[in-house]
Amino acid sequence: MSVVWRPPRKLLPFLVLFLCMVSALVVVAQQGEIPAAAPVQSSAVDDTGMTEITADSVEEQPAVAPAVDETQPVAQVAEPAAAEPAPAAPAVETAPVTQETQPAQAVAEPAAPAAPAESPAAAPTAAVETPAAPAAPVAQAEPATEAAKTSETASATEPSVAVAVAEPAAAPAPAVEEMYYFDMKRANVLVIIITLMAFVTYYTFHAQRGKELFIRRISGLSALEDAVGRATEMGRGVLYIPGIMDMDDIQTIAGVTIMGHVAKKTAEYDTPLYAPMTRSFVMSVAQEVVKQAYLEKGRPDAFRPDRINYLTDDQFGYVAGVGGIMMREKPAACFYLGTFYAESLILAETGNAVGAIQIAGTAEPSQIPFFVAACDYTLIGEELFAASAYLSKNPREVGSLKGQDMIKLIIIVFMIIGTLLVTISKTEYASGTVFVSLAENFMRLLK
Amino acid sequence: MELFIKLKNLDRRWVFLCVAFSVMLPMIFKMDFPVFPGKNVEGLHKFVEQLPEGTRCFLSFDFDPASEPELGPSAIAILTHMFRKNLKPMCGGNWPLGGEMAEAALAKASEVYKSTYEDMKKAGKLAAGCRPTVEKGIDYVNLGYKPGAIIHVKALCSDFMGPYPQDRDGNSTKEMPIFMNHDGRKFEMSDVGIIVSFTAGTGGIESFISVAGEHKRPMAAGCTSVNIPRFVTYLQTGQLVGMTGGLPGAAEYEKLIEYFGKGREGMAPQSIAHLIIMLFIIAGNIAFIAEQKKAKKKA
Amino acid sequence: MLFIKRTVPLIITFVTGIIMIIAFFSGPALPTIKSLEEVFPKWIQIIMSFTMVLGAFSLLRINLHKISRKADGWGYSLVLIIGFVTMATLGFLSGSWPMFEKEVIVGQKYYLLSENSQSSKPVTVSKVEKDAEGNVLVEVTPEGLTTPERAPSDRLKGGFMNMVNSLQQILFVGVFKNGQATMFSLLAFFVASASFRAFRVKSKEAGLLMGAAFIVMLGNVPIGNLVSKYLAYIPFIGQYLDIALIKEWIMAYPSSAAQSAILIGAMLGVISASMKIIFGVERSHLGGES
């Protein structure tokens, strides 16, 4: 440990982790079997036998003479590909990036385990079942013999005709299906989930032992109680919409969770709570949550299930109905917390027209700007999921927030390292140096 | 200055009225603005241009009537282009009304193709194999809506014909010439030259991108303007070969195929409406600054 | 009761969550578990469909109650009930009529629906046959013409069903689709009013946002190219002021970077929230204690 600077104890695990990663990369790069500075672009034909199609590969198709066929006035074979490199250039330039950033995207958007995601290695199976053959343009409804002759001529003269489909394999691969228990292609997802859970568990225990964990102020959530209070003072109601998707959407669950907190406030202040729903299942859950909230506050008599009702599944039919409710009931506070799409601005503007204070929250990036422009407070992305922890101050939930923040820090570090490595490896100074192989192996780690 | 401060409290119905006139008047007076195709649309156009004649293309109509004004013109322009290049579009959908949207787009595209056939032929802009009309089952097919989104797309990757024993009208797809291969092989996803998804939200092009590792087909998207930032990332990574974004994207594609459709018609109203909105924002900010100055003076 | 309302759902959530996670990571050596990855979502869709009945009954009950009490706005409830009953009846009739349809009779007059079902024409059936797949095909002659045409038999409708179909198309295409488009078009007006009200340059960041918004709005429409043409006359920097290019740069880099960042944060929140729900840490959605 240097006497000039001693790193804080809390940062030590991260430093160790970072050094281990860098060391691992260096060790891997120095191994002979992984070629340094190998092109990151995929080869034209991979082991599945399928051609990866880009504009570049379309250009590379050899020129094919149009078939002459008196019964078929339409030429069936591809015309010589026009050599126009300019439009293909963007595709070529970005092709190396495809391999690198696609896995990054897979990391950035991890599918919830319950959601159907990429299929496992069905690709090799599919490829094996499909015999490699040149793709032919569709046969016209003409005598098959003529077509067969034409295509035979075409395939005899040119090995590959059209863009799509596998190129003829030199030696057909034996149809052996690998049986494995664990899909290694998804290993990086598992690593991220395990790391996240490790941090969440650590900080949850930390919080449960009584340590105070700081959460920054989220103004939208702090204003929740004030908004309900304002509605009570004005003698008007509160409108709550937990999004327009069904209960299988995690944002809807977050929205319903916050609805419970809002319902406790409305029970306490005896403020009418209107909650029109677009899904019947969400209506049932919401009724139960609100009923429980009213029971906890000792106000079961004030619970009105009729106000938590189903309107319609149709997006714009629903927003028309909610608009009508807003114009008639004139709520003083409107909460939009969940998944929203095109109807977000319509709701927000209608709420503004009736003079309501509006608090919105969604993880849909395309709708956040509309809510930010039109609502008084907006919860952006993750803040929606933090709401439950923020409002309840439950140590377990607060600890999980902290764990999430740590994994975000790691992702940021990875992004910075990856960006630096790839940027340096692309410069002329880096050719032949360790940076190129480091960049490659770093990207391979993320794949 | 007082005028601007009064503007700050302008009833929003005046704003609505101005927007309404800014959209209606250019349409009534048939104003036309020159369109300059952008990189993304040009990329898609050039890719389709280079596809060999007879290539089957899969178009997924993942939108409903609400998004039809934005995505319909793109679909019609791309379909018309495909007909002119003697490509064979196969249309499906991951949204319930996708089949209907496809039907409308195919009907319009074939009408445009037929009406411009002679002119295009004279100009030498048609593929050699093009005929004066396009026929269902031979030149195109509408396979209709199938539920499941990403599950359906995965099923297509393993067995394309499995989910589609019939087209939308109930005709058997087994005997359709569009699905026949020269070598008698069953039609597979690997025979598709490009996948184009017209996406209004979920269950669209992202379903295909998620399983790109399985199908490995080039992909392109037509999306609503509000989703452009979401899909631009895919263009940068090369996962999409091109994209038409909203009505401007449709107008740019129509310009490239020399067709004056709803996209280009909509550019004049859209331009004027954008200008009006910008004027209102400027007016609002002038009012805001004037009010602040007034408050400072009073203080 | 608490066991059924709280504990059983928690157990079911935990078990199915763990099975789905295992299914996600498993390979072909575990085909039964792997197949659950595709089967479970279908089961969810089936279960969700049953809840439609709940919603429909709730809707009818509340609005009928409102009509009976002649509460404020009961007229809207009446319109809703009429629309609900009409569309439901027409939908059930046209969907279930094949159960009652008799065989197609040669020589009988029917109505042949167009491919998009939006129109029909009177025809006479001249031949009935089955194709290789077993589908029934009919040969029909339109009224006033002599050239027969072939069509699938399910597009042939009797007089009553033709009327049902026409009404359904009028309500769906004429009312519903146009109503959807109308509601969507409200966005254009609301964008203008929201921009006018909310976009104030209160700080440097807001000014930056305003500048970017102006560039993107101009770059998206042909007027942007016109403006770029005039800006090109500015000495030294004019040639770089291509609004469309700057707009594409803004969309491709700062904007998508911000979107990706929000998405990463949101997805981490989704993972964490999902795990908390699976492991029973988060229970607020079940009602009551968190």
Chain C stretch 84-113, residues whose beta carbon is closer than 8 A to a beta carbon of chain B: none
Distances (CA, A) of C233 to A150, A329, B98, C229, C247: 59, 57, 48, 7, 20
- Tell me: do B65 and B94 sit in the same domain: yes
Which chains have at least 3 CB atom pairs separated by less than 8 Å from chain A? B, C
Which pLDDT does position A12 carry in this prediction?
62
Q: Does A123 touch chain C (CB under 8 A)?
A: no
Q: Does C185 touch chain A (CB under 8 A)?
A: no
Encoded tokens for C249: 């740069």
Q: Does C193 touch chain B (CB under 8 A)?
A: yes
Q: What is the mean pLDDT of residues B186-203?
A: 92
Which pLDDT does position B33 carry in this prediction?
85
Q: What is the mean pLDDT of residues C118-133?
A: 81
Which pLDDT does position B219 carry in this prediction?
96
Q: What is the mean pLDDT of residues A339-343?
A: 92
Q: Which of A66, A76, A98 sits opposite B238 (nearest CB)?
A: A98
Mean of the per-residue pLDDT values of chain C: 84
- Tell me: do B174 and B153 sit in the same domain: yes
Distances (CA, A) of A391 to A78, A255, A355, C290: 64, 13, 26, 10
Which chains have at least 3 CB atom pairs separated by less than 8 Å from chain C? A, B
Q: How many domains does the structure of chain B reveal?
A: 2
- Tell me: do B10 and B93 sit in the same domain: no
Cα distance between residue B243 and residue B235, in whole Å: 8
- Tell me: do B24 and B163 sit in the same domain: no
- Tell me: do B19 and B71 sit in the same domain: no
- Tell me: do B81 and B215 sit in the same domain: yes
Which residue of B lies nearest to A349 if distances are taken between CA atoms? B12
Host domain of residue B151: 31-264
pLDDT tens, position by position, C70-90 = 988 899 899 999 999 999 999
Q: Which of A48, A75, A138 sits opposite B56 (nearest CB)?
A: A138
Distance from CA of A292 to the nearest CA of C (A): 5
pLDDT at B2 over 90: no
Percentage of chain C beyond pLDDT 90 is 12
Q: Does C73 touch chain A (CB under 8 A)?
A: yes
Percentage of chain A beyond pLDDT 90 is 31
Q: Do B51 and A163 touch (CB under 8 A)?
A: yes
User: CATH code at B244?
Assistant: 3.40.50.10160
Which pLDDT does position A90 carry in this prediction?
34
Distance from CA of A313 to the nearest CA of B (A): 13
Q: Does C59 touch chain A (CB under 8 A)?
A: yes
DSSP structure class, residue C158: -
- Tell me: do B14 and B152 sit in the same domain: no
Ranked by mean pLDDT, which of A101-105, A316-320, A433-437, B288-292 comes out on top?
A316-320
- Cα dihedral: A314, A316, A318, A319 (round 10): 160
Q: Does C209 touch chain A (CB under 8 A)?
A: no
Which pLDDT does position C48 carry in this prediction?
78
Three-state SS across B225-276? Answer: HHHHHHHHHHHHCCCEEEEEEHHHHHHHHHHHCCCCCHHHHCHHHHHHHHHH
| β-bridge mates for residue C152, sequence order | C137
- Tell me: do B128 and B12 sit in the same domain: no
Which pLDDT does position A18 carry in this prediction?
63
Distance from CA of C115 to the nearest CA of B (A): 7
Q: Which of A186, A315, A385 sits opposite C269 (nearest CB)?
A: A385
pLDDT at B125 over 70: yes
pLDDT at B72 over 70: yes
pLDDT at A383 over 70: yes
Instruction: Name the band, by pLDDT with cuts 50, 70 and 90, for residue A17.
Output: low
Q: What is the mean pLDDT of residues A307-328?
A: 93
Q: What is the mean pLDDT of residues A76-98?
A: 35
Instruction: Name the band, by pLDDT with cuts 50, 70 and 90, for residue A294.
Output: very high
Distance from CA of C191 to the nearest CA of B (A): 8
pLDDT at B241 over 50: yes
Question: Which residues does chain C have within 8 Å of residue B169's beta carbon, measured at their own beta carbons?
Answer: 115, 152, 155
Class of domain A219-393: alpha beta
pLDDT tens, position by position, A151-163 = 444 444 444 333 4
Which pLDDT does position A44 carry in this prediction?
41
Q: Does C27 touch chain A (CB under 8 A)?
A: yes
Q: C114 CB contacts (<8 Å, ≥6 apart)?
A: C120, C121
Instruction: Name the band, by pLDDT with cuts 50, 70 and 90, for residue B150.
Output: confident
Q: For A176-185, A268-277, C104-113, which range has the lowest pLDDT when averaged over its residues? A: A176-185
Cα distance between residue A7 and residue B26, in whole Å: 66
pLDDT at C148 over 60: yes
pLDDT tens, position by position, A197-235 = 888 888 888 888 877 778 888 888 889 999 999 999 999
pLDDT at B10 over 80: yes
Q: Which of A74, A94, A164 sits opposite B191 (nearest CB)?
A: A164
Q: What is the mean pLDDT of residues C163-173?
A: 88
Ranked by mean pLDDT, which of A7-16, A393-402, B205-214 comes out on top?
B205-214
Instruction: Name the band, by pLDDT with cuts 50, 70 and 90, for residue A102.
Output: very low
- Tell me: do B157 and B270 sit in the same domain: no
In chain A, the N- to C-terminal Cα span, in Å, equals: 36
The amino acid present at C275, given as its one-letter code, is M
Q: Which of A125, A280, A374 sits opposite C52 (nearest CB)?
A: A280
Instruction: Name the band, by pLDDT with cuts 50, 70 and 90, for residue A447.
Output: low
Query: Backbone phi, then psi, for A171, in 5-degree steps?
Result: -135, 120
Which pLDDT does position A243 carry in this prediction?
95
Q: For A93-102, A356-365, C131-140, which range has the lowest pLDDT when averaged over its residues? A: A93-102
Q: Does C50 touch chain B (CB under 8 A)?
A: no
Instruction: Name the band, by pLDDT with cuts 50, 70 and 90, for residue A270.
Output: very high
Cα distance between residue C42 and residue C44, in whole Å: 5
Q: Does C62 touch chain A (CB under 8 A)?
A: yes
Cα distance between residue B25 and residue A330, in whole Å: 35
Which residue of B lies nearest to C183 if distances are taken between CA atoms? B66
Cα distance between residue A331 and residue A325, in whole Å: 9
Chain A stretch 193-212, residues whose beta carbon is closer than 8 A to a beta carbon of chain B: none
pLDDT tens, position by position, B38-68 = 889 999 999 999 999 999 999 999 998 888 8
Question: Which residues does chain C have within 8 Å of residue B284's beta carbon, measured at their own beta carbons?
Answer: 196-197, 199-200
Grouping H, G, I as helix, E, B as strand and the rest as coil, residue A44 is coil
Which residue of C lies nearest to A371 if distances are taken between CA atoms? C194
Cα distance between residue A319 and residue C28, in whole Å: 45
Chain A stretch 214-243, residues whose beta carbon is closer than 8 A to a beta carbon of chain C: none
Chain B stretch 184-203, residues whose beta carbon is closer than 8 A to a beta carbon of chain A: 185, 188, 190-194, 201
Instruction: Name the band, by pLDDT with cuts 50, 70 and 90, for residue B132.
Output: very high
pLDDT at A46 over 70: no
Evaluated on CA atoms A107, A112, A115, A119, the torsion sign reads positive
pLDDT at C67 over 90: yes
Q: Do B151 and A95 touch (CB under 8 A)?
A: no
Which residue of A lies nearest to C15 if distances are taken between CA atoms? A114
Task: Give the ipTM.
Answer: 0.85
Burial of C43: CB neighbours in 10 Å, binned 0-12, 13-18, 19+: exposed
Query: Backbone phi, then psi, for C167, in 5-degree steps?
Result: -60, -40
pLDDT tens, position by position, C206-220 = 888 888 999 999 888
Instruction: Name the band, by pLDDT with cuts 50, 70 and 90, for residue A245.
Output: very high
Q: Which of B33, B148, B280 sits opposite C195 (nearest CB)?
A: B280
Cα distance between residue A277 and residue A284, in whole Å: 10
pLDDT tens, position by position, B152-193 = 898 898 889 988 988 888 788 988 999 999 888 899 999 999
Q: Does A196 touch chain C (CB under 8 A)?
A: yes
Which residue of C lies nearest to A183 if distances are taken between CA atoms? C27
Q: What is the mean pLDDT of residues C266-285?
A: 83
Query: Backbone phi, then psi, for B186, in 5-degree steps?
Result: -70, 145
Q: Which of B154, B182, B194 sits opposite A119 (nearest CB)?
A: B154
Question: Which residues does chain B have within 8 Å of residue A90's beta carbon, measured at their own beta carbons?
Answer: 39, 43
